[in-house]
Amino acid sequence: MADSIARPATTTTRRPRGRRPIFRFAGTYLILLIGAAVAIVPFLYTISVSLMNLTEANGGAWLPSSPQWRNYINAWNEANFSLYFWNSIRIAAITVTGEIVFCTLAAYAFARMEFWGKNLLFSLLLATLMLPEAIIWVPNFITVSWLGRVGPIPWINNWPALTIPFMASAFNIFLLRQFFMQVPNDLWDSAQIDGAGHLRYLLRIVIPLSKAAIMTLVLFGFIGTWNALAWPILVTTTPAWRPITYGFFAFIDEAGSQFNLQMAGSVITMTPVIILYFFTQKTFIEGIATTGLKG
Amino acid sequence: MSDAFLTGQDASARPAVRTPDTTARRGLLAGRQGRRVREALLAYLFLLPAFLVVGLFGLFPLIFAAFMSTHRGLNRIPGTFDGLGNYILAIGDLTYFLGFWGVVVLVFLALQAVGRSATAARDKGSPFWRWAAPGIAFGVMIAAWLGWLIRLLPLLLDIPNQMRGARNTPENFRRLLGEALATPATTQLLWLTLAALIVGVVSAWIVMRNRHHRIHYANYAGSFTLATILIGVAALIGWLTWAELQSNITESLASGGGLDIGSQMILISAGFLLLWLSWRLWQSASRRDSMVSVMLRLGGAAMLIIGAWVLVAEAPRIIAQGDAKWWNALLATFYYSLGTIPPQLIVALVLAVLLFQEIRGRSFFRVIYFLPYIAPFVGTAAVFKIIFSSRPTAPINSILSFFGLPSQAWINEPAGILNLLTPGLQLPAWSAGPSLALIVIMIYGVWSFFGFNTVIFLAGLGNIPKEMYEAAAIDGAGRWPQFRYITLPLLSPTLYFLTLYSVIGTFKAFNHIYVLRTGAALGTTDTASVVIFQTFQRDTRYGYASALAILLLLVIILLTIVNNRVAAERVHYG
């Protein structure tokens, strides 16, 4: 210990760096590559099985002898994917639009405005994050069917039940509030001098400055809607508004042991989200990292 | 600031013109206050849509579920009132235990809230007890309003039944809604709410008027309001528990059977008390000198053993009274949590530390690791179902047979893991560990979440100052000491966050477990959420499903508190 302090600092720091990097990085890369392989192999296997013929798929082959592209057409037609695809897109579009409007307004109020009961309302909002999904199934199902039976339009098997309950979430409001709070105060002062009110300031300055946050919200909203399963099972008894996740879940049973068709359906279900992810992965991962840490 | 300065200048310049000046000042004050009121109103307007949605579909469900859980009936809404019957069905006599201690804890929390702010008020020298009147009045107001909501609920739920067929018109709905709102039972509570509001506002106004000094002046009504609501909830739970106990006693006396509620109650309470005491002893032991510490630790250990023994001895009787399916679900959830969180955190930590070096392709690895988390789980779970299927030609089984090992049923295997590992001896189901099917679901859980944890760990590593490592390197610390004494302590907030997040997440988990469950696994993979879903969706037992969901929420709250307590001592916010 005393020796190492007595020696010039440069030698102690340089020596391990100078000699070891090849071994060290070789080991590092090996572990990292094993991790990457574990992460990616199930996806490759999905694609592989989706291109097999029936005997190969059920016989436990690893690779198709000749790719059977027809599997995709068959799966698409058998599972009625065109309807489910369109449904999921419609549901996602409505939910995300509502989310942007509602959550932006609420997040702005929490970030920039002074009003009585702010802390109380904010903690009530955050408390909803702890509720398990299981506790809201029964009450929300009853509420939604009640609203549909007394209101002008049905809610079950229709868009309201699938979209309206998800238009404002504590998580999104929290995320946007974090970003809005980072907008410098000077901008608000100068906007006020120019005679702008809160709404104009929000629309003209805060939103354009928080494009990245809103993009994150759109992505989360889209993927969350695409992935929902429990709630769509409860509120879609007919295929009319059934989203793709539920459609594919039902198809797993229908296709039975036709693993090649199952996997073709799986690829169809996953592709939009994965494409979206690859195009926006930077925004996405950073969004997760920042909100995850600050949450 | 500049306005006040300006008016002050005005006043000194023209002292003769008094009236316009004071009106101007008053007008200015009104203007400023008016601006604040306008801003607050605008803020409420901004919050309105979000809070309509969150309130109706996020907060109200909690009250609604509590209401539904006291009702019974198949596919009937709300069904007939049944007190705590659903809870008795699920967890047996443990309900009375929970009810009793729930009341005790709520009353304690209420007293604590008042006591804490009384101390704070005394320290600041501001009046405290005069806030009791408005505080309690506001508490009564909120409690009465919640009571009104609960009384109104069954009437509202009945409206659709009266609107069948041709009578389904907006006019009819408005008439029925008016009738429901005008029922004496509900209007009474509404008047009580209003009266409490008036009393609260008037008494608050009196307190504010009579204030003697403006310095150190704070509003302590909130703690009284909270205490009132807590005591109200405690009274409700106490009443429900007592009513259930009464009917239970009458029933068992009528059938000639004995009662063991008393002894059970005392034994379970004593067991938990001993566990808690041993924990406290253990804590205080670390602050004493060696001899006393050893004695305290021994005492703590003895209490731990006795307490655990009492609980273990009592457990079979309690479990036998409850719903076996529900206990199995809780056990499966517990296994799932225990089998998923440590592996995924360790894997993620290793990968994050390795990635957090000057190496090529960092972002590439990050993107790949994150893929399982982001991909739609139905798709990936379907693949896992095939990879881990019981066919001898399935991928995992063919790998096993390549190494000469017998193939397994994997996702379809209901037998416990310990029974499979030790074919010779047959353990009973409860001690055989998680089933192999549940293990497959755990593997899926680790696979799909390790990337998420890696990303969060990477962000946490990025927050550690580089100078720390440089200083440690100068002192000659190697890689392991650097990791042990710098990275790990400074990463502890992230670790704590991820642990809490994963514990809550695993206890909430539903989607992938629901996709991966098979009939052949005989329900060994059904976690709490899955059982609740089945009770609701397949069996249409709305009341029972709500009661189970409330119990799950209690478990989650308890775990959060335990997690916070443990973390408070270990997390290092550097």
Does the pLDDT at position A3 exceed 50? no
d(CA A107, CA A36): 37
Single out the residue of A137, B81, A226 nearest to residue A145, CA to CA: A137
Do residues A97 and A217 make contact, with C-beta atoms less than 8 angstroms apart? no
Q: Which residues of A touch B201 (CB under 8 A)?
A: none
Collect the ranges in chain B with pLDDT lower than 50.
Answer: 1-25, 27-29, 215-216
The length of chain A is 295
Q: Which residues of A touch B52 (CB under 8 A)?
A: 168
pLDDT of residue B4: 40
Residues B436 and B507 both lie in one domain? yes
Does the pLDDT at position A294 exceed 60? no
Last residue of a domain, one of B212, B227, B259: B259
- With tokens 């609980």, the residue in question is B311
d(CA B292, CA B288): 6
- Asked whether residue B178 is domain-assigned, the answer is yes
pLDDT of residue B96: 86
Structure tokens at B144: 């009465």
d(CA B203, CA B218): 16
- Asked whether residue A65 is domain-assigned, the answer is no
Residues B11 and B98 both lie in one domain? no
Do residues A108 and A202 make contact, with C-beta atoms less than 8 angstroms apart? yes
Does the pLDDT at position A47 exceed 70? yes
Per cent of chain A over pLDDT 70 is 90
In CATH, what number is assigned to the domain containing residue A259? 1.10.3720.10
Residues A183 and A42 both lie in one domain? no
How many other C-beta atoms can be found within 10 angstroms of the C-beta atom of residue A293? 17
Single out the residue of B551, B543, B537 nearest to residue B70, CA to CA: B543
pLDDT of residue B2: 39
Residues B133 and B250 both lie in one domain? yes
Cβ distance B375 to A124 less than 8 Å, yes or no, reads no
Least confident of A82-86, A172-176, B162-166, B385-389: B162-166
Do residues B210 and B131 make contact, with C-beta atoms less than 8 angstroms apart? no
Cβ distance A135 to B553 less than 8 Å, yes or no, reads yes
Test mutation, B152, B354, B475, chain A, max A CBs within 10 A? B354
Secondary structure element (H or E) that encloses residue B563, with its range: helix B542-570
CB pairs under 8 A between A and B: 316
Residues A34 and A82 both lie in one domain? no
- Asked whether residue A60 is domain-assigned, the answer is no
Q: Which residues of A touch B528 (CB under 8 A)?
A: 134
Structure tokens at A129: 């994050």
Q: Round the CA-based radius of gyration of chain A to a whole number and report it.
A: 26
CB nearest B382 (choices: A125, A266, A284):
A266
Q: How far is B482 from chain A (nearest CA, A)?
A: 13
- Asked whether residue A84 is domain-assigned, the answer is yes
Dihedral angle, C-alpha B204, B206, B208, B210, nearest 10 °: -150
Instruction: Tell me the β-bridge partners of B80.
Output: B72
- Asked whether residue A57 is domain-assigned, the answer is no
Q: Which residues of A touch B557 (CB under 8 A)?
A: 130
pLDDT of residue A144: 93
Q: Which residues of A touch B392 (CB under 8 A)?
A: 60
Cβ distance A40 to B370 less than 8 Å, yes or no, reads no
Q: Round the CA-based radius of gyration of chain B to a whole number and report it.
A: 31
Residues B12 and B156 both lie in one domain? no
Q: Which residues of B touch A229 (CB under 8 A)?
A: 377-378, 510-511, 514-515
Residues B59 and B16 both lie in one domain? yes
Residues A160 and A249 both lie in one domain? yes
Q: How far is B78 from chain A (nearest CA, A)?
A: 9
Cβ distance A125 to B54 less than 8 Å, yes or no, reads yes
pLDDT of residue A83: 92
pLDDT of residue B259: 61
Structure tokens at B192: 């009580």
Query: Which DSSP string do the residues of B65-129 spell out, in sequence order?
Result: HHHHTTEE-TT-SS-EE-TTHHHHHHHTTHHHHHHHHHHHHHHHHHHHHHHHHHHHHHHHT---G
- Asked whether residue B78 is domain-assigned, the answer is no
Residues B393 and B524 both lie in one domain? yes
pLDDT tens digits, one per residue of B210-239: 766 554 456 788 889 999 999 999 999 999
- Asked whether residue B444 is domain-assigned, the answer is yes
d(CA B93, CA B262): 10
In this structure, is the dihedral angle defined by the CA atoms of residues B208, B211, B213 and B215, taken in order, positive or negative?
negative
- Asked whether residue B441 is domain-assigned, the answer is yes
CB nearest B532 (choices: A40, A49, A134):
A134
Test mutation, A30, A137, A155, chain B, max B CBs within 10 A? A137
Secondary structure element (H or E) that encloses residue A292, with its range: helix A259-294
How many other C-beta atoms can be found within 10 angstroms of the C-beta atom of residue B554? 12
SS3 B259: coil
- Asked whether residue A66 is domain-assigned, the answer is no
Residues A82 and A44 both lie in one domain? no
Written in H, E and C, the secondary structure of A40-68 is: HHHHHHHHHHHCCCHHHHHHCCCCCCCCC
Q: What is the DSSP-derived secondary structure letter of residue A80? A: T
pLDDT of residue A279: 87
Residues A33 and A82 both lie in one domain? no
Cβ distance A146 to B156 less than 8 Å, yes or no, reads yes
CB nearest A137 (choices: B476, B533, B550):
B533
Task: Compute φ and ψ for B435, nearest 5 degrees.
Answer: -70, 160
Residues B337 and B350 both lie in one domain? yes
pLDDT tens digits, one per residue of A222-268: 888 888 899 999 999 888 899 999 999 988 888 777 888 889 999 99
Label residue B93 exposed, middle or buried (CB < 10 Å: 0-12, 13-18, 19+).
Answer: buried
Residues A86 and A6 both lie in one domain? no
Q: Which residues of A touch B455 (CB under 8 A)?
A: 285, 288-289, 292
Residues B244 and B281 both lie in one domain? no
- Asked whether residue A219 is domain-assigned, the answer is yes
Residues B296 and B345 both lie in one domain? no
Test mutation, B371, B503, B516, B551, chain A, max A CBs within 10 A? B371
Q: Which of residues 84-123 of A touch B (CB under 8 A)?
A: 101-103, 105-106, 108-110, 113-116, 118, 121
Cβ distance B553 to A165 less than 8 Å, yes or no, reads no
pLDDT tens digits, one per residue of A93-140: 999 999 999 999 999 999 988 888 888 899 889 888 888 889 999 999
d(CA A197, CA B501): 39
Last residue of a domain, one of B259, B287, B309: B259
Cβ distance A263 to B386 less than 8 Å, yes or no, reads yes
- Asked whether residue B222 is domain-assigned, the answer is yes
Task: Compute φ and ψ for B72, nearest 5 degrees.
Answer: -135, 150
Structure tokens at B444: 């899926």
pLDDT of residue B573: 63
Full domain range(s) for residue A13: 2-50
Cβ distance B369 to A36 less than 8 Å, yes or no, reads yes
Cβ distance A289 to B455 less than 8 Å, yes or no, reads yes
In this structure, is the dihedral angle defined by the CA atoms of residues B508, B514, B515 and B519, taken in order, positive or negative?
positive
Residues B101 and B113 both lie in one domain? yes
The region, left, alpha or beta by phi > 0 then psi within -120 to 50, assigned to residue A256 is left
Residues A19 and A107 both lie in one domain? no
Residues B274 and B411 both lie in one domain? no
Q: Which of residues 234-273 of A touch B (CB under 8 A)?
A: 234, 245, 248-249, 252, 259, 262-263, 265-267, 269-270, 273
Residues A189 and A141 both lie in one domain? yes
Residues A19 and A146 both lie in one domain? no
A139 in contact with chain B, both atoms CB, cutoff 8 A? yes
Cβ distance A150 to B386 less than 8 Å, yes or no, reads no
pLDDT of residue A183: 84
- Asked whether residue B486 is domain-assigned, the answer is no
Cα separations in angstroms, A199 against A114, A164, A248, B101, B189: 15, 24, 43, 50, 39
Residue in chain B nearest A22 by alpha carbon = B359
In this structure, is the dihedral angle defined by the CA atoms of residues A57, A61, A65 and A69, taken in order, positive or negative?
positive
pLDDT of residue B144: 93
Full domain range(s) for residue B281: 261-321
Dihedral angle, C-alpha A244, A245, A247, A249, nearest 10 °: 160
Residue in chain B nearest A121 by alpha carbon = B51
Q: How far is A48 from chain B (nearest CA, A)?
A: 11
Residues A27 and A139 both lie in one domain? no
SS3 B435: strand
Q: Which residues of A touch B550 (CB under 8 A)?
A: 135
Label residue A228 exposed, middle or buried (CB < 10 Å: 0-12, 13-18, 19+).
Answer: buried
Residues B197 and B326 both lie in one domain? no
Residues A140 and A274 both lie in one domain? yes
Single out the residue of A230, A170, A229, A288 nearest to residue B55, CA to CA: A170
pLDDT of residue B361: 82
For chain A, the domain total comes to 2
SS3 A137: helix
A134 in contact with chain B, both atoms CB, cutoff 8 A? yes
Single out the residue of A124, A119, A133 nearest to residue A165, CA to CA: A133
In this structure, is the dihedral angle defined by the CA atoms of residues B31, B32, B34 and B39, taken in order, positive or negative?
positive
The region, left, alpha or beta by phi > 0 then psi within -120 to 50, assigned to residue B429 is alpha
How many other C-beta atoms can be found within 10 angstroms of the C-beta atom of residue B126? 18
In this structure, is the dihedral angle defined by the CA atoms of residues B553, B557, B558 and B560, taken in order, positive or negative?
positive
Amino acid at B549: A
Do residues A110 and A177 make contact, with C-beta atoms less than 8 angstroms apart? yes
pLDDT of residue A4: 39
Residues A31 and A129 both lie in one domain? no
CB nearest B395 (choices: A45, A143, A169):
A45
Q: Mean per-residue pLDDT for A58-74?
A: 84
A37 in contact with chain B, both atoms CB, cutoff 8 A? no
For chain B, the domain total comes to 4
Average model confidence (pLDDT) for chain A? 83
